[in-house]
């Protein structure tokens, strides 16, 4: 079981980001702080190994 407990919950990845670069930087900063992502529209949940893989492997234009 993961020791992380903080989550950012958003409806879709396009909402909080201005560009792919901005998304990459923000996700890296939040990951350093132990904050996971739950994205409803794309079905991404980085609290699980499968969700982390899905987020990291999906092309930026689908995010």
37-48, pLDDT tens digit by residue? Answer: 888 888 888 888
* pLDDT tens figures, 2-50: 555 788 888 887 766 777 788 778 888 888 998 988 888 888 888 889 8
Terminal alpha carbon distance of the chain:
27
The number of angstroms, rounded, from the C-alpha of 25 to the middle of its chain's C-alpha atoms is: 11
Round to whole Å and give the CA distance between 60 and 33: 22
Q: What is the pTM of this model?
A: 0.65
Question: Please, which residues bridge with residue 45 across strands?
Answer: 38
């Amino acid at each position: 079981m993961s020791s992380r407990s903080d989550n950012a919950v958003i409806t879709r990845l396009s909402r909080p980001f201005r560009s792919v670069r901005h998304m990459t930087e923000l996700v890296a900063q939040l990951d350093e702080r132990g904050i996971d992502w739950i994205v409803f529209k794309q079905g991404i949940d980085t609290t699980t190994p499968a969700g982390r893989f899905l987020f990291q492997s999906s092309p930026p234009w689908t995010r």
